[in-house]
Amino acid sequence: MKRILYLIRQAAYTVYSFCFFLCLAIELTVRGFLMITLCGATDENKLKYHRLLQRRARFVVNHIPGTTFTYDNTVGETFEKPAVIVSNHQSHLDLMAIIMLTPKLIILTKGWVWHNPFYGIVIRYADYFPISDTENMATVVEEKVGKGYSVVIFPEGTRSPDCHIQRFHRGAFYLAEKIGLDIIPVFIKGFGQVLPKTSWHLHPGRMSLEVMPRIRRDVDGQTIGYREMTRKLHGLYVKKNDEEVCSHR
């Protein structure tokens, strides 16, 4: 009987969350139309829209039924200086946690996300960019960086089905080298248990996001190449993930 009640409760949470998400997508689409299409796609209006996204993302992450969320920024990162923000990738919910960091974010997404029928318009209003468009990507990113925006990339390229760290692709680190940006590693935990890659069913759990120390490309006068940076960051995430697993045994 307890199992049946648990399944009913979680099914209700899932339906509620999906309806809320759908209403949120509609609201952000309408607000984008009013703020950007009608009032003009100025830098000021774009930033106002990004601040709206940040507020909505913060609300969503902190109000997922049956879950708790912890934000750890003990390193005191302000995100004022543009950087490439990288994160491990566990769930569809990861994006909300990243968006709440700062309004000045440009997220490089997969093509299907950019064209998604539910929130694709929101993605385009926010000037997030499909990573498949490699020809124009560097130009767009440099333009946004010049306006104080940081760039978000998930170097694994896809969600991890079991929350283990997958192979890192080099694109994020090559872009950081090409444009001359620092790297800010962000570590997420618990999102893959709350909404796994293989499920549309919400589960109770604890989620957290930790901002780790900024990594500068120039260390003691020596520049770290993007290949070495890829290996360094992958090792950092594997070690961090293993420590978190061991701490819960």
The pTM (predicted TM-score) of the whole model is 0.90
The set of residues, in sequence order, having a beta carbon less than 8 Å from that of 149 and lying 6+ positions away, is 82, 104, 105, 106
* Mean pLDDT, the chain, whole residue set: 87
Lowest mean pLDDT among 57-61, 161-165, 215-219: 215-219
Q: Residue 14's pLDDT is what?
A: 79
* 204 has a pLDDT exceeding 50: yes
Q: What is the distance between the alpha carbons of residues 232 and 217, in angstroms, rounded to a whole number? A: 12
* 19 has a pLDDT exceeding 50: yes
pLDDT digit string (tens) for 75-118?
Answer: 999 999 999 999 999 988 999 999 999 999 999 887 777 777 77
Q: Residue 92's pLDDT is what?
A: 86
Q: Residue 133's pLDDT is what?
A: 65
pLDDT over 70 percentage in the chain: 93
- Assign 220 a pLDDT band (cuts: 50, 70, 90): low
**pLDDT higher for 136 or 164?**
164
Q: Residue 144's pLDDT is what?
A: 92
* 244 has a pLDDT exceeding 90: no
Q: Residue 116's pLDDT is what?
A: 79
**pLDDT higher for 71 or 198?**
71
* 131 has a pLDDT exceeding 60: yes
Q: What is the distance between the alpha carbons of residues 170 and 10, in angstroms, rounded to a whole number? A: 38
- Assign 249 a pLDDT band (cuts: 50, 70, 90): very low
Q: Residue 106's pLDDT is what?
A: 93
Backbone angles phi, psi at 200, to 5 degrees: -105, 10
Q: What is the distance between the alpha carbons of residues 198 and 80, in angstroms, rounded to a whole number? A: 36
- Assign 20 a pLDDT band (cuts: 50, 70, 90): confident
